[in-house]
Amino acid sequence: MKTEGGSTNDGLSLAPRSGERVGRGARRSVGARAALWAVTTILAAACSSSKQDGPPTTTPPTRVGPLCSARYPGPSPLRRLTRIEYARTVDDLLGPGLVDSSRLPPDERALGFANNAEVVSTGGLLVEAYSDLADEAGDVVAAHAGNYAACAATAPDAACAATFAATFGRRAWRRPLATDEQAALAAVYAGGAADGGFSEGIARVTAVLLSSPQFLYRLETGTSAATPSPAPAVDVPDAVALTPNELATRLSYLLWGSMPDPALLDAADAGRLATPADLAREARRMLADPRARTIVTTFHAQWLGIDQLADASKDQVVYPAYTAALSAAFTRESARFVEEVVFDREGTLGALLSAPYTFGDATLASFYGASPPAAGGDLITLPATQRAGLLTQGAFLAVYGKANQSDPIHRGRFVRERLFCTTPPSPPPNITVRPPDLNPRLTTRQRFAAHTGDPNCSGCHILLDPIGFSFEHYDGIGHWRDMEGGQPVDSIGALSGTDVDSALEGAVTLAGDLSRSTEVQICYATQWFRFAYGRGESTADACSISDLATALAAAKGNVRELLVALTQTDAFLYRRAGDLL
Amino acid sequence: MSRRTLLRGAGVALALPLLEAMHPRRARAAAGAAAKRFVSMFTANGTLYPQWVPTGTEADFTLSPILAPLEPNHADLVVVAGLTQQGAGGDGHQNGMSGMLTGQSLNPGPFQGGANTGAAGWANGPSVDQKIASVIGGSTRLRSLELGVQVGVADDWGRMIYQGANQPLAPEDNPAQAFARLFGAAGTTPEAFARARARRKSVLDAVSGQFQAVSARVGTRDRARLDEHATALRDIETRLDLQARPSPACTAPAVPAAVPGHLGDNDNFPTIGRLQMDILALALTCDMTRVASLQWSRSVSMTRFTWLTPAINEAHHDLSHRGDDDAPAQDKLLRINTWYASQLAYLLGKLAAAEESDGSRFLDSTLVLWSNELGKGNVHSRELAPYVLAGKAGGALRTGRFLTYPREVPHNNLLVSILQAMDISVAKFGREDWCTGALTGFI
């Protein structure tokens, strides 16, 4: 069923009320609204209880392109440095590997991403670790003072400490320090110097800087008369443009997951971050830096959930081949593949989903039934009928595989949720779910056939299983199989309710469909929105997401262009004044 | 030794093997009546009620197959059956986990629950242990100690302890880190400690001012977050002097052997659990804290109990969804829950073996609660939720009892009774409409 030109008040739209936050999988209306509406309609028809957010009470700002004229920055919850950002920032500040921050507790994770500012929590364990790490940073600076303040070698005195506080402080706080802030640090230095000389003084200054809210949080006050706006005039009274330093910080954490480099700080201070074009110029410069590669691999690892692979546990009786070494090889493979595709090869989402090659050693090549890479290289040409893109790699298949068997339901669910941004319902409460036992004479597909036979299940599983069954040639660790339970594997499936509906025969055909889908492109842009801005989207973000999807389409799916576009949206350039008060 | 560790476990000196140190002759140096302690322990995915519930009367009962490992502590137990665990928002695991100790529903948020339940955030109030810590946690080095065993992703399926609404507390699930936090400074000289303390004090003073200044310039929600941080800083500051206090009469253990391989490896589960129980018991008996918790895995636990005989290779959660007529699955769930009971028995054994300064058993001044996010796993029901308590709470609680309540009684009432046993006078706890007062006949 396909419906063209769905209304935003169709009663089935999952768009939330204005200002309401949106959970995973809620749809928003953008360029391909009609197609998304069709998905919704089909979901609702097949699953009577699939409505997630209730009918909208207002028409969200859905204008696309030239119609999207008003500025809607969306909410800007306060962001704290994540564990990854903290580690990289301290490495950039002090030098790599000098402070080990691995003891920080894990970041809260929502909508798939471990940087969601809405669920950040702060307990004693975290704050204690921050204090300890700041002390350690102080020790590092005290022990190698000359590396951080040249004057320390010749004239270790209060004047030298003031120079250190101003220069190191500007880097740590990502903006120049105000006079009163420098005076406060001078007092800290004086106390330390009285107790333990110059080195204790600058150790304490360092510890204060790294324990401070200005370092740990990305505080944003917005522009004032003293800090002119770099962004175009605002036509919503509620929206406030950010200062050049605040934008420099948004840029560097978006593209590098770390603090601005000297060039970026200088550009901000010198008024060279004055227009969106300036931001785009800096973004392109920064994308050429290796630090951008790490962010791109981190995004994909979290989006796909494959950063959970290390904790995935497999039944060693069923899968003796699944070793720690194989798991590590999978993780390396996916990261390397993403990096190569995005930065060194096609550069596109389509290639990520369907490239006929991967990277690894002879062992991995053998796992995939491929020829070993050429001597000195790691490029593996995959068997074309068996593998294509991220969803046929070991990392994905093992994470979305059970301990002792494949997992068509969760593989199908993943495609709906993370690639189409729709939320298929979970089993209704108070029913007994009974995953079929292993049976040596049946295939997984046959054992799961109950879903299509039981009317309580089939209404929703029709959305999941036909996608998941297309992966049936891969077992619970991603190994290819032609036979299961003494019978040939059947990987016939179907993709329905999407803009690329088709009959499927194996995951390679699915990969081809996904790589051509506009809906997948929009969803991918939405996932980047969540990751880049550290929050779920709200209706106020419709224009921002529309801009991203449009830019990605215009760039023929180029991921780096999407990253540049992420620096140009309302959500990036502004924040709501209400969040300031 | 790095400077940070100087502020950890200060005053505790001398290394002894861990097990030896687990039996301090005197748990605390202070004279007078023993202080009370509270410990909570969580295990996941519901239980098998018929195999869990004891038989007999309040005073004369026989432990069930699942609780059989607790037979050595029969006289220390209060088994509470029949209550309905409250929860709302998100899915059954999510709100069971979050409501278990808070008696609160989940606030809105982005954690997408299963079963058509929509998204949810964090619980809307403090957990019972943190309420207790707010009263009795002021004089120890840590306000409370949260430990875990492979607790997984940081979301509301994996958090049970809340300092307040929307303030989940992360458990430390790395024994080496937990150990370093408590005992890392064994052997520190007083001079080195004084230097570290002076720096910490100076830094905290300066940073507190910064938090005040920026907090005034942000919106309400952001301010709440910054205030939470500032409160945690103040807590560190007020405890600086407690760290400098002379050590209680117990000795620091040797660093425990490292957990082999990757900490998250399924098969490390029992090893990590044992280490965490040792650390937890030591922290209590050394009076480093009086409130502690141990979270085994998380709701929807996927742990595979491969170390049992015969090995169980299916994930716990998958098994918990099998039907009541599935005999092999029932047998495995019975063995899983029985194993957890044996872990509690180990912990109780530790606490029973330690002595207060007056020679009484440490367990007698302690109250221990074992609970689960669900009652019946395969239907996600929170009715007939399994609660096992142990310890006399300093004489407030008569033990060796089996209590049954009608299922209309909300578990919030148990939380009220726990608070009362800990000498905290409240009429209600958690969500008002989920609480009708203390449990009848509990104390």
Q: Could you read off the pLDDT of A491-546 as tens digits, one per residue? A: 999 999 999 999 999 999 999 999 999 999 999 999 999 999 999 998 888 889 99
Please answer whether residues B200 and B235 qualify as being in contact, where contact means their C-beta atoms are separated by less than 8 angstroms: no
| Facing residue for A21 by CB, picked from B110, B177, B262 | B110
Say how far residue A269 (Cα) sits from the centre of its chain.
29
Residue numbers in B near A113 (CB within 8 A): none
Amino acid residing at B70: L
User: For A448, what's the count of Cα atoms within 13 Å in the CB-facing half-sphere?
Assistant: 19
| Facing residue for B321 by CB, picked from A77, A217, A433 | A433
| Facing residue for A423 by CB, picked from B111, B112, B152 | B112
Cα–Cα distance, A404 to B318 (Å, whole number): 12
CB contact under 8 A, B236 and A131: yes
CB contact under 8 A, A128 and B214: no
CB contact under 8 A, B7 and A132: yes
CB contact under 8 A, A192 and B199: yes
Distance from CA of B132 to the nearest CA of A (A): 16
Distance from CA of B230 to the nearest CA of A (A): 9
Alpha-helical regions (H) of A95-156 = 124-143, 145-148, 151-154
CB contact under 8 A, A425 and B115: yes
CB contact under 8 A, A315 and B304: yes
Say how far residue A49 (Cα) sits from the centre of its chain.
30
Distance from CA of B259 to the nearest CA of A (A): 15
Q: What are the residue ranges spanned by the domains of chain A?
A: 83-216, 294-516
Distance from CA of B127 to the nearest CA of A (A): 14
Residue numbers in A near B150 (CB within 8 A): 311
Amino acid residing at A392: T
The pLDDT tens digits for A261-305 are: 999 999 999 999 989 999 999 999 999 999 999 999 999 999 999
Cα–Cα distance, A12 to A497 (Å, whole number): 14
| Facing residue for A212 by CB, picked from B169, B210, B265 | B210
Interface test mutation site (partner A, options B1, B95, B116, B304, max chain A beta carbons within 10 A): B116
Residue numbers in A near B266 (CB within 8 A): 313
pTM of the prediction?
Answer: 0.90
Q: What are the residue ranges spanned by the domains of chain B?
A: 3-186+248-434
Interface test mutation site (partner B, options A21, A24, A27, A78, max chain B beta carbons within 10 A): A78
Residue found by looking up tokens 């209306």 in the block: A29
| CATH class in words for B3-186+248-434 | alpha beta
Q: What is the ipTM of this complex?
A: 0.92
Cα–Cα distance, A185 to A206 (Å, whole number): 9
A-chain residue closest to B215, CA distance: A213
Distance from CA of A249 to the nearest CA of B (A): 17
Say how far residue B307 (Cα) sits from the centre of its chain.
24
| Facing residue for B3 by CB, picked from A53, A139, A423 | A139
CB contact under 8 A, A110 and B378: no
Residue found by looking up tokens 């403090």 in the block: B126
Query: What is the count of residue pairs from A and B with beta carbons less than 8 Å apart?
Result: 238
Residue numbers in A near B224 (CB within 8 A): none
| Facing residue for A108 by CB, picked from B154, B264, B314 | B154
What does the buried/exposed string (b/e) look like for A294-305 if buried means 16 or more CB atoms within 10 Å of the residue's CB?
bbbbbbbbbbbb
Cα–Cα distance, B399 to B78 (Å, whole number): 5
Residue found by looking up tokens 């920032």 in the block: A89
A378 CB-near residues (< 8 Å, 6+ apart) = A336, A359, A360, A361
Residue numbers in A near B5 (CB within 8 A): 132
Q: What is the largest CA-CA distance in chain A?
A: 83
Residue among B335, B394, B323, B338 nearest B370 (CA): B338
CB contact under 8 A, A212 and B207: yes
Distance from CA of A308 to the nearest CA of B (A): 9
The radius of gyration of chain B's CA atoms, rounded to the nearest angstrom, is: 21
Residue numbers in B near A187 (CB within 8 A): 206
Token output for A451: 């879903």
Tens-digit pLDDT string for chain B (443 aa): 344 444 554 333 323 333 334 344 444 434 457 899 999 999 999 999 999 999 999 999 999 999 999 999 999 999 999 999 999 998 899 999 999 999 999 999 999 876 556 789 999 999 999 999 999 999 899 999 999 999 999 999 999 999 999 999 999 999 999 998 888 776 678 888 889 999 999 999 999 999 999 998 888 889 999 999 999 999 999 888 776 554 555 666 677 778 888 899 999 999 999 999 999 999 999 899 999 999 999 999 999 999 999 999 999 999 998 889 999 999 999 999 999 999 999 999 999 999 888 889 999 999 999 999 999 988 889 999 999 999 999 999 999 999 999 999 999 999 999 999 999 999 999 999 999 999 999 99
A359 CB-near residues (< 8 Å, 6+ apart) = A333, A336, A337, A340, A373, A378, A379, A380
